[in-house]
Amino acid sequence: MDPVFFPANLLLSLAIFSLGVMGVLWHRNALSVFMSIELMLNAGNLALISFAQRFGDSAGAGLVLFVMTVAAAEAGVGLAIFIRLYRQRSTVELDKADELQG
Partner 1 sequence: MLDHLWLIPVFPALAALICGVWGRRLQRRAGWVAIAAMLLSSALAASATAAFVGAPDRPPIRYVLFDWIQVGALQIPFSLLIDQLTVVMLVVVSFIGTLVFIYSTGYMKGDPGYARFFSFMSLFAAAMYLLVLADNFVVLFIGWEGVGLCSYLLIGYYMEKDWCADAGKKAFIVNRIGDLGFVLGIALIFAACGNLDISHVSQHAAERFEAAGWLITAATLLLFLGAIGKSAQIPLFVWLPDAMAGPTPVSALIHAATMVTAGVYMVARCNALFALAPVTMAVVGLIGAATALVAASIGLTQRDIKKVLAYSTVSQLGYMFMALGVGAFATGIFHLYTHAFFKGALFLCAGSVICALHHEQDMLHMGGLRKAMPVTWMTYLLATLAITGCPLTAGFFSKDEILWRAASAGSLLGWILWVIGLLSALMTAVYMFRSLYLTFHGPSRVEPEKRAHVRESPASMTLPLILLAAGSIMAGWIGLPQWLGGSRFEHFLEPVLRAGRESIAETAGHAFELAVTALSVAVFLAGWLVAHRFFLTGYPERAERAAQRFGFLYRLSANRWWWDDAYNAVIVRGFMHLTFCLGWLDQHVVDGLVNGTGRAAASLGDAFRWLQNGRVQFYAFAILRGVNVLILVLLYGHAGDLLAEVARFIEMGVILNR
| Binding region for partner 1 (CB under 8 A) out of 2-10, 18-26, 41-49, 53-61 | 18-26
**Is residue 19 within 8 Å of residue 46, measured between CB atoms?**
no
- Residue number, 24 or 75, with CB nearest to partner 1: 24
| Segment interacting with partner 1 (CB under 8 A) among 20-28, 46-54, 61-69, 80-88 | 20-28
Decide if residue 24 touches partner 1 (CB under 8 A).
Answer: yes
Which parts of 73-102 interact with partner 1 (CB under 8 A)? 94-95, 97-102
Q: What are phi and psi of 91, to 5 degrees?
A: -160, 155
**The only residue of 5, 7, 25, 66 in contact with partner 1, by rule CB under 8 A:** 25
Q: Taking Cα atoms as reference points, which of 55, 17, 60, 56 lies closest to residue 39?
A: 17
Check if the beta carbon of residue 87 is closer than 8 Å to that of residue 43.
no
For residues 78 and 86, give the distance between their C-alpha atoms in angstroms, rounded to a whole number: 12
Footprint of partner 1 on this chain (CB under 8 A)?
21, 24-26, 33, 94-95, 97-102
